[in-house]
């Protein structure tokens, strides 16, 4: 079965100019080749004849038409392209002249009951008229290809030295023009570039108020206390409630391992009561949005320093039917605690990179 994969089109496509064969027209024709062969000696019968077609070639025949005729015959097929890109008097393929050689090896039984053979080559020519003239851009780029050429042969030994034969050559031709077109270049199905961060806005630089543009968020605020750049994500706008940032990632490759890393520090204030758990989580889903697997790791508030420290989570291998992943970094607190948490956590410079196969 063909190798194929689904790819969500990004906003920017990389295009490449390639040269591809475009089928202009195709047709099938029969060529009847009659011949009479004189055997080199008297024969009792013809045992069999092996037939094949050799030196098969074809020449396209072009016609040039005026501007008025061009518009009338082309308008129904290419309403815009040819009107704006091609000048008047372009070439059309009207017919194809096919010529070749019908080669035969004739096996016969002579008067001494010996099986002998001799060869015969019969040239033939056939003009194939297309149903309607087809336009081409460049006559030098037009060629004729053959597909499924067959031969059917019948014979009659009318005299001991005279053999009457009728051959039917069936040829299927395709008129092909090599054209240059632009195509979108898709990434390789092996979407596991090493050391490439596949998270969007990993430094939390894009905000509208207290909402990060490219991340989902709950109970989050924009912080100027950034490790790099201008901003960072603060977990715990209300420190007594859970907080999280999360992002959906489509570029995950099955059967590979990934590493989620981020930098974090806690803000304690003047009267700290830190009672939270920092959690990193990666969940994998199939194309229907069904949860396949979730992998996570947690750190207690005592493990989060008051200066930036990097935290990492290794996940994988990714299941074969995975379509996308959800990356989540959260601050969990004890709901309804007598003395609620009043510490916040600053998150910056997150990354999700592929580390290779397992």
The pLDDT tens digits for 25-50 are: 888 888 899 988 888 888 888 889 89
Task: Please work out, in degrees rounded to the nearest 5, the angle formed at the alpha carbon of residue 74 by the alpha carbons of 73 and 75.
Answer: 105
Q: Looking at the chain, which runs of residues are DSSP E strands?
A: 15-38, 43-64, 91-110, 115-135, 142-159, 162-184, 207-208, 211-212, 216-218, 220-223, 232-235, 243-249, 256-267, 276-285, 291-300, 309-315, 324-333, 344-357
The pLDDT tens digits for 88-107 are: 457 888 888 999 999 999 99
pLDDT for 293 equals: 95
- CATH 2.60.120.260 range(s) for the chain read 207-357
In three-state secondary structure terms, 140 is helix
The pLDDT tens digits for 329-349 are: 999 998 888 899 999 999 999
Superfamily of domain 207-357: Galactose-binding domain-like (2.60.120.260)
In three-state secondary structure terms, 320 is coil
Residue 308 to residues 126, 232, 236, 303, 305, Cα–Cα distance (Å): 83, 12, 17, 12, 7
Q: How confident is the model at residue 251 (pLDDT cuts 50, 70, 90)?
A: confident
* Sheet of strand 243-249, all strands in order from the earlier edge strand to the far edge: 216-218, 243-249, 324-333, 276-285, 291-300
Q: How confident is the model at residue 81 (pLDDT cuts 50, 70, 90)?
A: very low
Distance CA 29, CA 102 (A): 15
Taking a C-beta distance cutoff of 8 angstroms, is the pair 33, 167 a contact? yes
Burial class of 179 by CB neighbour count within 10 A (0 to 12, 13 to 18, 19+):
middle
The pLDDT tens digits for 296-339 are: 999 999 999 999 999 999 998 999 889 999 999 999 998 888 89
In three-state secondary structure terms, 287 is coil
The pLDDT tens digits for 112-137 are: 888 988 999 999 998 988 888 888 88
Distance CA 264, CA 115 (A): 93
Q: Which residue has the tokens 């336009």?
A: 135
Q: Where are the alpha helices (DSSP H) in the chain?
A: 67-74, 81-85
Taking a C-beta distance cutoff of 8 angstroms, is the pair 258, 252 a contact? yes
First to last CA, the chain: 26
């Amino acid at each position: 079965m063909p190798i194929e994969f689904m790819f969500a089109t990004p906003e920017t496509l990389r295009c490449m100019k390639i040269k591809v064969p475009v089928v202009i027209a195709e047709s099938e024709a029969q060529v009847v080749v009659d011949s009479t062969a004189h055997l080199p000696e008297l024969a009792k019968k013809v045992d069999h004849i092996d037939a094949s077609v050799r030196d098969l070639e074809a020449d396209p025949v072009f016609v040039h038409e005026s501007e008025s005729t061009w518009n009338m015959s082309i308008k129904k097929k290419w309403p815009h392209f040819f009107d704006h890109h091609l000048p008047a008097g372009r070439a059309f393929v009207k017919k194809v002249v096919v010529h070749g050689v019908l080669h035969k090896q004739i096996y016969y039984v002579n008067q001494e009951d010996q099986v002998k053979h001799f060869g015969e080559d019969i040239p033939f020519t056939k003009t194939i008229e297309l149903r309607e003239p087809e336009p081409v851009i460049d006559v030098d780029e037009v060629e004729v290809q053959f597909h499924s050429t067959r031969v059917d042969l019948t014979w009659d030994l009318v005299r001991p030295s005279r053999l009457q034969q009728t051959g039917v050559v069936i040829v299927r031709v395709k008129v092909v023009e090599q054209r240059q077109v632009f195509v979108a270049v898709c990434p390789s199905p092996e979407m596991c570039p090493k050391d490439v961060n596949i998270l969007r806005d990993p430094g939390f630089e894009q905000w509208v108020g207290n909402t990060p543009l490219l991340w989902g968020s709950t109970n989050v605020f924009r912080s100027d206390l950034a490790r790099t750049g201008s901003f960072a994500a603060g977990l715990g706008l209300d420190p007594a409630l859970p907080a999280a940032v999360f992002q959906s990632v489509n570029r995950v490759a099955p059967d590979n391992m990934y590493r989620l890393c981020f930098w974090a520090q806690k803000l304690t204030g003047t009267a700290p009561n830190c009672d939270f758990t920092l959690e990193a989580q990666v969940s994998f889903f199939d194309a229907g949005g069904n949860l396949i697997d979730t992998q996570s790791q947690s750190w207690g508030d005592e493990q989060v320093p008051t200066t930036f420290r990097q935290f990492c989570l290794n996940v994988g291998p990714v299941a074969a039917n995975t379509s996308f992943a959800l990356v989540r970094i959260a601050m969990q607190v004890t709901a309804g605690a007598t003395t609620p948490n009043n510490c916040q956590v600053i998150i910056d410079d997150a990354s999700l990179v592929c580390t290779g196969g397992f």
